[in-house]
Amino acid sequence: MTWLFDFWRSSIGGKVTMAVTGLLLFGFVVAHLLGNLQLFAGPERLNAYAKMLADSGALLWVARIGLLVVFVVHVVTAIRLSRANKSARPVAYQHEDTVQATFASRSMVFSGLSLLAFVVYHLLHFTFGVTNPEHFARKGVGAGGHDVYAMVTTSFAVPAIAIAYAAFQIVLFLHLRHGIQSLAQTLGLNHGRLTPLIGKLSVLLAALIAGGNLLLALSVQLGVVKVAS
Amino acid sequence: MKLDAKIPGGPVQQKWDTRKFELKLVNPANKRKYKVLVVGSGLAGASAAASLAELGYQVECFCFQDSPRRAHSIAAQGGINAAKNYRNDGDSVWRLFYDTVKGGDFRAREANVYRLAQLSVNIIDQAVAQGVPFAREYGGLLDNRSFGGAQVSRTFYARGQTGQQLLLGAYAALSRQIGLGTVKMFPRTEMLDVVLVDGHAKGIVVRDLVTGEIRSHAADAVVLATGGYGNVFYLSTNAKGCNVTATWRAYKRGAGFANPCYTQIHPTCIPVSGEHQSKLTLMSESLRNDGRVWVPKAKGDKRAPGEIPDAERDYYLERKYPSFGNLAPRDIASRAAMQVCDEGRGIGDTGLGVYLDFRDSIARLGRDAIAARYGNLFHMYAKITAEDPYSRPMRIFPAVHYTMGGLWVDYDLQSTIPGLFVLGEANFSDHGANRLGASALMQGLADGYFVIPYTIGGYLAGQKAGAVKVDHPQFQVVAGEVAAMTKRLLQVQGKRTVDDFHKALGKIMWSKCGMARNERGLQQALREIPALREEFWRDVRVLGSERNLNQSLEKAGRVADFLEFGELMCRDALERRESCGGHFREEWQDDGEAKRDDENFCHAAVWEYTGPDQKPVRNAESLEFDNVHLAVRSYK
Amino acid sequence: MKVVLHIWRQTKRSTEQDHKQDGRMVRYELADVSPDMSFLEMLDVLNEHLIGRGEEPVAFDHDCREGICGSCGVVIDGVPHGPERGTTTCQLHMRSFQDGAEIWIEPWRAAAFPVVRDLVVDRSAFDRIVQAGAYISVNTGAPQDANAIPVPKADADRAFDAATCIGCGACVAACKNASAMLFVGAKVSHFAHLPQGRVERERRARNLVAAMDAEGFGNCTNQYECEAVCPKEIPVRVIAEMNREYLRAKVIEQPAGGKQIGGHG
């Protein structure tokens, strides 16, 4: 284990940790989106999916704990690296400029911290039912499962919530747009022909994920999805 | 002054083997008891420091730059010669030896040149093993190109950055030893004097350029690899920091200075653009492989180059030297350029320039092939001049580039001071009166990797290790003198800046002791330089303190030495009443070609210091040519 | 042409504490500038004026003035080596600026590069990294014939692309994290592409990264500013290669003091 810890503490080890956990989190985001897109298939489908998840028991907990660990490692490593980065340049330039760094790449810490806040809110909202208890935990259609469909649609019927969720998708887009190509580079994938492709793919994937989520958030407001009665 | 070159007996092919066997060895267990100081970290210094440390000696290495990697060897562009004969084009050690002796206009020591040619092949092997990325062909083997003064392709290269790659190889070897603790490196440290104990060099006094501390270092031998003195001209292709200080101060302690008048004027540099110019930029000689040199046939033809038809162009190198053409040696190509400019056929606003034209080779080989060979040079040219050399011929003009003169050394590279060894451009030995292209890198590395590791042992074997320590009173004396001179520079508090004096000296040197020299001009320079020196010590303004980083103070010390050295250079040029290689005396010529006087001047002139403001004594080491027939150089 | 300069002036070497108090920006006006001057020649002119007025000249590192020694380098308007691509400060000419331009000139900023004076910084951290393993362990005199091992031209060219690094430190100065990964990546890449360099590849990757980390450089966040300002245009591919080499070296690393499987003492 000290080997692993030493690796994590090295600069490249830290970067690789970010890349690997980032890749796993990206995988989760994809799965999460695919699951949630069932919103468009109607309440039965979505709630059945939710129940299936809820009924997976131990497996669910393993996944949840795993995800939590990955997430915490991603965040903790990010904090360690950015603190090191800050102390590597104790005096800032009086006149700053950049040549080719993208906005997304320069705002990874900001977008990351925003996403952290969003995830906390998202969990309090939909998983723990703290922020909007009135939307939460309505016994529903399926066999004793939560009425997830109702929870989501009633929430997104509130314009402020819908807008907040939508806005965070822009942040997610920025984070992924840099993160996806960045993880390829960190893991050593840089090739004359592939790299420009990865750059484009990175934007495309980020746009698909953020766009999909955005569509979900705005689905009620746009009238694509009906609010559960 | 006793000048014993200690050339081993026997045929020239066996001299080095003979000497290697004659030299006494230091027992491996005893090597670590000896300390060697290496001053300079260019090709010669870095390779020497690394190789000596590998053998087991304790080494301390010094450079004035902030890192040993920045020594000016890094700027060498074109390539390095080696008699590998990989081209199957008739090259051999003998031919490289012959070309170098002839190229040097028969003013080099045959035995040294032969050894250099022999060692040339080992250098390439060494560099490749270190990971120097030489140019290669598709088959994976090393590529070669041609250089001036040779009719075979024996030049190995790494794009236009051969010096950089070779230096980084030597720097890597040096860094490895620093990491292992066998070499102690002192960057930003300038050597200001050598310390003699009982007539032997036993240490140096340096100034830490950051803290200003004057410090002594004692050792069993001192190696100077401090480069050339081209900056005496102010404008040259040398780096701004290149200076004569280390060798000059060794000279003042008793080391003979040989042939200071031999300077190489490189034919292909970017012309001066104005008074503000701080240095000149070389365009590698390799460009003459594919570029054709010309001027308009008519005087004062101010048309754009593209509008001048072939019939109205004078490809003067091809016309005058049909067998070598554009690859005539440097001294000859430079003088030819000067001649056409003197005739009023020079190009550009100043009339001081000639064209180097790639039109024909681009048409023959394609733009890509030319870009692959010279891309970085073209890029560099475009950046400086804001002109595109792919579509418009380069403007070039000769500039001071290299100095063949230097401290006199014997076959073992030891100066007239026992224990003081001199390597690379800082010594005088191998290039005679003119150096061929791609031979400087070869010499620096041969000296450092393959000569000094043997010869220094021969000296050290006769010395008691660690006999002299820094507490020896002589160190205090010398350190006191160094500190006093530093203080004196700050105390003048006059009106003119150091650069101002340096520029004034440069103008005298270039006009009176530059490409062409004559008795009247040199006599004049010998009056003007002491006057300028006197004014310097009366009116120079150096601000700040000696206790921290003070770049004006560093420069002032170097210029003070140039102001003394310039005089010696003019004196040497005056006394050498012949023309040879880079030394062209207008009084001795055959229609513009240098005319040697072998009867009276087939020797190296070795100057001996006799005291401040005293006339130095000129000694001579006569040169024997047993293997290459003394003949008039012809490149026609 | 005329320019207005804002230059960082500092007389004492930066200390661990309170770097900001070490110096300040000072404004200078310069009237006699020619567009054909190099940037450093412009600073020479300024210094000649300053000495004339009895003020100490601005200290800046420089040597070859042809873009190869790597000595020079200042941050010009927020960009190391100034506005032109693939150019060192000494190769930058005043024709790249407008008449009347205001120009901010600052030293490289990094904890690992303390300011020595004015625009001069201490880059010895780079040397120490090289000393940790950016070499092939071969003694003088040992090698075989240079053509004994053919090296594919493509590999030699790639090695060269990395080896062309001049060690100026612009990559560190440009990186918002003051990371040295382009520099170190270039060393790793140079040797990784050559058969001669592969013998020690794992040791080299591990030692170089450890030395880099010990110097206090930051971490790469893949913004590629280093590549944009590198005067030799070294691509960030070398960083990916270093990551790969390091990962590989760590994966196959044997535990300290451990025996090889199947080994007989």
A residues 23-82 closer than 8 Å to C (CB): 81
Q: Residue A159: is its pLDDT beyond 70?
A: yes
State phi, psi for C75 to the nearest 5 degrees. Answer: -90, 120
In a domain, B15, yes or no: no
Quick one: B135 and B226 in the same domain?
yes
Q: Which of B401, B424, B448 is the last residue of a domain?
A: B401
Say if the Cβ atoms of B133 and C156 lie within 8 Å.
yes
How would you write chain C as a 3-class SS string?
Answer: CCEEEEEEEECCCCCCCCHHHHEEEEEEEECCCCCCCEHHHHHHHHHHHHHHCCCCCCCCCCCCCCCCCCCCCCEECCEECCCCCCCCHHHCEHHHCCCCEEEEEECCCCCCCCEEECCEECCHHHHHHHHCCCCCCCCCCCCCCCCCCCCCHHHHHHHHHHHCCCCCCHHHHHCCCCECHHHHHHHHHHHHCCHHHHCCHHHHHHHHHHHHHHCCCECCCCCCHHHHHCCCCCCCHHHHHHHHHHHHHHHCCCCCCCCCCCCCC
Check residue B336 and give its pLDDT: 93
Minimal-distance CA residue of chain C relative to B163: C68
Minimal-distance CA residue of chain C relative to A106: C223
Check residue A1 and give its pLDDT: 74
Least confident of B140-154, B388-402, B519-533, C170-184: B140-154
Residue type, B101: V
**Cα of C90 to nearest chain A Cα, Å:** 20
Q: Which domain holds residue B501?
A: 473-622
Contact assessment for residue B104 and residue B581, using Cβ atoms and an 8 Å cutoff: yes
Q: Residue B573: is its pLDDT beyond 80?
A: yes
- Work out the burial of residue B27: count CB atoms within 10 Å of its CB; fewer than 13 is exposed, 13-18 middle, 19 or more buried: exposed
Q: What average pLDDT does chain B have?
A: 96
Residue among B84, B165, B173 minimizing CB distance to C163: B165
Q: Confidence class of residue C137 from pLDDT cuts 50, 70 and 90?
A: very high
Structural domain spans, chain A: 8-89+104-218
In a domain, B595, yes or no: yes
- Bridge partners for B294 per DSSP: B355
Minimal-distance CA residue of chain A relative to C103: A95
B276 near C CB under 8 A: yes
Q: Which residues in chain C have their CB less than 8 angstroms from residue A1's CB?
A: none
Minimal-distance CA residue of chain C relative to A87: C111
DSSP B616: P
Pairing of strands B221-224, B420-422: parallel
Residue among C56, C87, C151 minimizing CB distance to B383: C87
State phi, psi for A33 to the nearest 5 degrees. Answer: -65, -45
Q: Does residue B210 sit in helix, strand or coil?
A: coil
Check residue C19 and give its pLDDT: 58
Q: Which residues in chain A have their CB less than 8 angstroms from residue C228's CB?
A: 99-100
Minimal-distance CA residue of chain B relative to C142: B126
Pairing of strands B292-296, B313-314: antiparallel
Quick one: B58 and B136 in the same domain?
yes
Q: Which residues in chain A have their CB less than 8 angstroms from residue C237's CB?
A: 190-191, 195
* pLDDT one-digit tens code per residue, C7-23: 999 998 887 655 567 89
* pLDDT one-digit tens code per residue, B188-236: 999 999 999 999 999 999 999 999 999 999 999 999 999 999 999 999 9
In a domain, B633, yes or no: no
Average of per-residue pLDDT across B40-69: 98
Check residue A143 and give its pLDDT: 47
Smallest Cα–Cα separation from B568: which of B162, B251, B312? Answer: B251
Please report the ipTM that was assigned to this predicted complex.
0.95
Say if the Cβ atoms of C51 and B541 lie within 8 Å.
yes
Cα dihedral across residues A16, A18, A19, A20: positive or negative: positive
Q: Confidence class of residue C265 from pLDDT cuts 50, 70 and 90?
A: very low
Chain centroid to Cα C126, Å, comes to: 8
- Interface size between B and C, measured as CB pairs under 8 A: 220
Q: Residue B632: is its pLDDT beyond 90?
A: no
Structural domain spans, chain C: 3-117, 123-251
Smallest Cα–Cα separation from B558: which of B242, B290, B277, B127? Answer: B242
Quick one: B455 and B509 in the same domain?
no
Q: Which residues in chain A have their CB less than 8 angstroms from residue C218's CB?
A: 84-85, 88-89
A111 near C CB under 8 A: no
Task: Kindly report the CATH number assigned to the domain that includes residue B524.
Answer: 1.20.58.100
CA distance between the termini of chain A: 54
Say if the Cβ atoms of A97 and C79 lie within 8 Å.
yes
Going from the C-alpha of B47 to that of each of B73, B155, B611, C131, the distances in angstroms are 12, 20, 35, 15
The H-or-E segment that residue B113 falls in is helix B110-130
CATH of the domain spanning C123-251: 1.10.1060.10
* Chosen CATH of A8-89+104-218 out of 1.20.1300.10, 3.30.60.50, 2.120.10.30, 1.20.140.10: 1.20.1300.10
A222 near C CB under 8 A: no
Q: Residue C262: is its pLDDT beyond 60?
A: no
Chain B neighbours, 3+ Cβ pairs < 8 A: C
C residues 241-260 closer than 8 Å to B (CB): none
Say if the Cβ atoms of A89 and C209 lie within 8 Å.
no
The H-or-E segment that residue B573 falls in is helix B551-575
Check residue C264 and give its pLDDT: 45
CA distance between the termini of chain B: 41
Quick one: B478 and B517 in the same domain?
yes
Task: Name the token pair of B63.
Answer: 């450079």
In a domain, B409, yes or no: no
Q: Do chains C and A touch (3 or more CB pairs under 8 A)?
A: yes
- How many Å apart are CA B360 and CA B376, to the nearest integer? 20
Contact assessment for residue C68 and residue B161, using Cβ atoms and an 8 Å cutoff: yes
Smallest Cα–Cα separation from C243: which of A20, B2, B630, A111? Answer: A20
Task: Kindly report the CATH number assigned to the domain that includes residue B197.
Answer: 3.50.50.60
Contact assessment for residue C133 and residue C44, using Cβ atoms and an 8 Å cutoff: no
A193 near C CB under 8 A: no
Q: Which residue, chain included where needed, has tokens 């913004």? A: C223
Contact assessment for residue C180 and residue C126, using Cβ atoms and an 8 Å cutoff: yes
Helical ranges in chain A per DSSP H: 2-9, 11-36, 43-54, 58-88, 103-106, 108-122, 148-156, 159-186, 194-218
| Length of chain A (residues) | 229
Task: Kindly report the CATH number assigned to the domain that includes residue B345.
Answer: 3.90.700.10
B283 near C CB under 8 A: no
- Bridge partners for B420 per DSSP: B222
Residue among B172, B543, B544 minimizing CB distance to C134: B172
Check residue A137 and give its pLDDT: 59
Residue among A3, A11, A95 minimizing CB distance to C212: A11
Q: Which residues in chain C have their CB less than 8 angstroms from residue B208's CB?
A: none
Say if the Cβ atoms of B140 and C65 lie within 8 Å.
no
Smallest Cα–Cα separation from B119: which of B92, B82, B149? Answer: B82
Smallest Cα–Cα separation from B538: which of B494, B597, B490, B489? Answer: B494
- How many Å apart are CA B194 and CA B197, to the nearest integer? 10
Q: Confidence class of residue B185 from pLDDT cuts 50, 70 and 90?
A: very high
Residue among B66, B132, B161 minimizing CB distance to C68: B161
Helical ranges in B366-439 per DSSP H: 367-385
Q: Count of domains in chain B? A: 3
A11 near C CB under 8 A: yes
Q: Which residues in chain B have their CB less than 8 angstroms from residue C68's CB?
A: 74-75, 161, 164
Minimal-distance CA residue of chain C relative to A7: C250
Q: Which residues in chain C have their CB less than 8 angstroms from residue A187's CB?
A: 243-244, 247
Say if the Cβ atoms of A16 and C243 lie within 8 Å.
yes
B164 near C CB under 8 A: yes
Q: Residue C258: is its pLDDT beyond 60?
A: no
Residue among A12, A95, A195 minimizing CB distance to C246: A12
CATH of the domain spanning C3-117: 3.10.20.30
Check residue C14 and give its pLDDT: 81
Q: Do chains A and B touch (3 or more CB pairs under 8 A)?
A: no
In a domain, B408, yes or no: no
Chain A neighbours, 3+ Cβ pairs < 8 A: C
Contact assessment for residue B380 and residue B388, using Cβ atoms and an 8 Å cutoff: no
The region that residue A112 occupies, defined by phi over 0 for left and psi between -120 and 50 for alpha, beta otherwise, is: alpha
Q: Confidence class of residue A142 from pLDDT cuts 50, 70 and 90?
A: very low
Say if the Cβ atoms of B140 and C150 lie within 8 Å.
yes
How would you write B267-319 as a 3-class SS string?
Answer: EEECCCCCCCCCCCCECCHHHHHCCEEEEECCCCCCCCHHHCCHHHEECHHHH
Contact assessment for residue C30 and residue C128, using Cβ atoms and an 8 Å cutoff: no
How would you write A194-214 as a 3-class SS string?
Answer: HHHHHHHHHHHHHHHHHHHHH
**Cα of C102 to nearest chain A Cα, Å:** 11
DSSP B64: S
**Cα of C107 to nearest chain A Cα, Å:** 9
Say if the Cβ atoms of B171 and C37 lie within 8 Å.
no
Check residue B591 and give its pLDDT: 82
Quick one: B282 and B367 in the same domain?
yes
Q: What is the DSSP string of A102-140?
A: -HHHHTHHHHHHHHHHHHHHHIIIIIS--S-GGGS--B-
Q: What average pLDDT does chain A have?
A: 92
